Amino acid sequence: MLQIFYDSQTFYQLKDLEKLGPKKGVISQSVKDVIDSLVGDDLVFKDKIGTSVYFWSLPSQAGNQLRQVRSKLERDIETYKKQEGELQEKCKASKKGREDSDERETALADLRVVEQRHKDLHEELNKYADNDPAVYDSMRNATKVAHDAVNRWTDNVFALQKWCSSKFPEAREKLDELYNEVGITEDVDYLD
């Protein structure tokens, strides 16, 4: 399709291109898609004049585009070379004072000892986590919640016993046997 534009160096409407496309080996149904793709790649230009849409592409425009792309890439290369130089300088600067020496080795050994000591102290601190006041307070709060729940369920059991006794007075002995089987004896009472 580009060859059609380059050979004639003129303007075309889509209907003209659909007639010329099959002569260059492009299926007439796909001419519009090919032209849209070329327009998207900035290889073919289009403009609406009045109610008509015209397409064109000149070999000099393609050359100009290639020169622009090349100059942009060259600028990018220069920028990246400059950044590489700066990074190498930073790397050299960061290595200053880190040369291998007895003093540095001693400092690194001391650092490893201090880090190990820190790790050991942290592990020892974890051993005593059960005696942490925050843990103690949370356990005390959990105990209070459990105590209230036990008393609430005891109250529910007594209410159920009372309801069963009033609803089924003739089965009182059978109900007492069932209560004993599940562990509800006369000793069951509220917790203080």
Q: Based on the domain organization, do 34 and 80 belong to the same domain?
A: no
Total of domains in the chain = 3
Q: Which of the residues in the chain have pLDDT under 50?
A: none
Burial 33-70 (b: 16+ CB within 10 A, else e): ebbeebeeeebbebeeeeeeebbebeeeebeeeeeeee
In angstroms, the CA 80 to CA 19 distance is 48
**For 12, which DSSP code?**
B
Q: Based on the domain organization, do 26 and 65 belong to the same domain?
A: no
In a domain, 124, yes or no: no
And the tokens for 134? 């925050």
pLDDT in tens, 25-63: 778 788 888 888 888 877 888 888 888 888 888 777 777
In angstroms, the CA 157 to CA 153 distance is 6
Q: Based on the domain organization, do 17 and 43 belong to the same domain?
A: yes
| Contact indicator for 57, 2 with CB cutoff of 8 Å | yes
User: How confident is the model at residue 48, as a pLDDT?
Assistant: 86
Residue 66, domain extent: 59-96
pLDDT in tens, 105-116: 888 899 999 999
Q: Based on the domain organization, do 14 and 28 belong to the same domain?
A: yes
In a domain, 72, yes or no: yes
CA distances to 101, 146, 147, 171 from 157, in Å:
79, 16, 15, 17
Cα pseudo-dihedral 13, 19, 23, 26, rounded to 10: 80
Chain centre to alpha carbon of residue 23: 52
Whole-structure pTM value:
0.35
User: How confident is the model at residue 120, as a pLDDT?
Assistant: 94
In a domain, 105, yes or no: no
